[in-house]
Structure 1
Amino acid sequence: MFGRKKRDTTETAEAEARSSALDAEADEDLGADGADDSVDVADGTADPDSGPWSIEDREGEREEIAQGRLDLGSVLLPLPAGGQLQVEMTQQGTPQAVHIVTQHGRITVAAFAAPKSPGQWREVATELADTLRRDNASVSVESGPFGREVVGLTAGGELRFIGVDGYRWMIRGVATGPAGSVGADSPLVQQARAVVAGTIVDRGSDPHPVRTPLPVTLPQALAQQLAAAQQQQAAQQAAAQQAAAQQAAQQQAGQQQAGSPHPAPEPGEDPSAGGTRRGPSGSAMQQLG
């Protein structure tokens, strides 16, 4: 969904039509009395006075700016009380996303490269709504503090997408939880909006294609904890595999022992008689001697 796209005239027209339809849907969902004159539903542009902010707009050294926030390189996130971190890794072992798990649900905030002019969230919101509908989700568009928010209700849970356009970056926040957890006034959504509002984006000067996720880096302490947890998990898996292999070997040995035939009697030996086996040339020990 977030790959770079080449569009011809027809695709552009279709995208504009979908966006117009989404605007109409938003107006219908909000209603004449529900609209907030201070919020542009189709915009969602960052307010430099209220956040989220570019790091260049903040004063002080990075350590001072990051105080009270989780520094993930491209984004500096405030953590809600009681929130726990869940790191999603790529197959290459690099962090792909960091989720904040709360008692109400999960919050994920990521930053993407964007053009200088705002408007990327508008396109992304349209595509998110289309994708959710193709997945048979119930979709609605609501107005939030930053503009439009896309809400998807599925059988497996509910999602609310919150987007904000900045200068050459775009933030996408996602609140995910069980049924009834992503209402506009729910604790999960209030927490998600607060995290988005308090986020600081470090776009950097490196060139990134539009819609490319900005890289995530973990703080050293968190990276060490994650590495230790991965090592412990790998050791536990290796021990479990070794124990399973030993158990299988023991079972196989027991089956072989139970199924082995009794040795045949020596020639001339009475199977019913006890004592040393004897043949025509004497006992077995005498034959060996």
Structure 2
Amino acid sequence: MFGRRRKKRDQETERAAEETRPKRRGAAGAVSFDNEVEPERPSAQPDKAEDRYRIGGPWDTTEGAPEAKRMDLGSMLLPTDQGAEIQVNVAQDDKGKQKIIGVTLVRGKTALQVQPFAAPKSSGLWDEMREELREQVTRQGGKVEDHEGTFGPELRAVIPIKDKKTEDGRQLGQRVRFIGVDGPRWVLRGVIRGEGASKPEVMSEIEQVFAGIVVVRGDQPAPPSELLPITVPKEIQEQMATAAKQRAAQQAAQRGNAGRSPNGSAGGPPTTGGPVQA
């Protein structure tokens, strides 16, 4: 009996020594002196459960995004090696000053508008955004349904086209996909129109563009749902300014001809900057 107790004490002593044996760390992770390689544990767990929907992107700037040519737009790095034309979306504020409200990537007959928003650290915001979008589409007389897509829950809708009807008076509509993903303290929203909202083979192509985006959240505080600042390179600003002058000249000409031509009319404020070929 005493022999069994002594053997048990020896085994416990050996286990204790094993647990306290010093280890050295190497490039492959933690390596013990017994040459038992242990996998390196992640330094931090994902902030949100929704991160599982973006295993292949979109990416946060702190993550290891695949190497690609991207355009720096401040809060976003947009892929430019997939032949997409980049358009800057602008609107006028209360003081008449133009503000960038998003960026649209046009590829063939598909358009993808993207907007990065601030979000809470511990919970997703895309769920709330979908409900707001659903209400907006319904209010406009459109139809919307839920769908489980590549990036998780999305909305697929048919939105009425203003002043567009068939010869027999039926309202025309366009198919639209609302996609989005939650990241660490941000949410990236995409609106897809054209073939990318209806043809499966084109859907996959535009999703790859969306997945290649890198979001630069930054350390600046921002309330949830606030659009993160989008900036454009100087050459694009110059193109936008030139395009704005051309539109202003055209509108002035239209106003000047309004009294002489039945087709003369004044245009509204520009909503899209000049295209930039990526």
Alignment TM-score, normalising by the size of structure 2: 0.62
Flag the 1:242–1:47 CA change in 2: closer, same or farther, 3 A: closer
1:46 CA drift (Å): 5.4
Residue number in structure 1 paired with 2:225: 211
Stretch of structure 1 that moved more, 156-165 or 100-109: 100-109
The answer on 1:53 being equivalent to 2:59 is yes
Could you tell me how far 1:228 is from its partner in structure 2?
2.0
The structure-2 alpha-carbon separation of the partners of 1:44 and 1:79, relative to structure 1 and needing over 3 Å to count, comes to: farther
Hey, which of these two has a bigger chunk of helix by percent?
1
Q: Give me the whole-angstrom Cα distance separating, in 2, the residues matched to 1:174 and 1:69.
A: 20
Task: Quote the offset at 1:118 in angstroms.
Answer: 3.2
Measured in 1, the distance between the counterparts of 2:117 and 2:239 equals: 27
Q: 1:241 to 1:130 in 2, by over 3 A?
A: closer
The amino acid of 2:91's aligned partner reads: T
> Structure 1: 5+ residue runs without aligned partners?
1-42, 249-289
How many angstroms does 1:217 deviate by? 0.5
- Report the Cα offset of residue 73 of structure 1: 0.8
Is 1:133 matched with 2:138?
yes
For 2:130 and 2:255, the matched residues in 1 are separated by 49
Matched residue pairs, number? 198
Q: Which protein has the larger Cα radius of gyration, Structure 1 or Structure 2?
A: 1
**Paired position in structure 2 for 1:160:** 177
Counterpart residue number, 1:183: 198
Matches within 5 A, 1:138-149: 138-149=143-154
The answer to whether the 8 Å contact 2:119/2:225 transfers is: yes
Matched, 1:93 2:107: no
- Partner of residue 188, structure 2: 171
Amino acid at match of 2:62: E
Alpha-carbon shift at residue 88 of structure 1 (Å): 1.9
Q: Which moved more, 1:153-162 or 1:198-207?
A: 153-162
- Name the CA shift for 1:57/1:155 in 2 (closer, same or farther; >3 Å): same
**Alignment match, 1:120:** 125
Deviations 1:19-61 (A, max 9, x none): xxxxxxxxxxxxxxxxxxxxxxxx64356752211112248xx
Q: Is the 8 A contact 2:70 2:81 kept in 1?
A: no
For residues 168-193 of structure 1, the C-alpha deviation after alignment (integer angstroms, 9 at most, x for no partner) is 0001111012xx75137241x22331
Amino acid at match of 2:243: A
The answer to which of 199-208 and 227-236 deviates more is 227-236
Identical amino acids, percent of aligned pairs: 37
What's the offset of the Cα at 1:89?
Answer: 1.6
1:195 equivalenced with 2:195 (yes/no): no
3-state SS in 2 of match to 1:213: coil
Structure 1: distance between partners of 2:187 and 2:143: 25
1:234 aligned to 2:252?
no
**Structure with the largest fraction of strand:** 2
| Gap runs ≥5 in structure 2 | 1-48, 162-173, 262-278
Q: Equivalent residue of 1:192, what SS? A: helix
Matched, 1:103 2:108: yes
Contact 1:106 1:176 in 2 (8 A): yes
CA deviation after TM superposition for structure 1 residue 218, in Å? 0.8
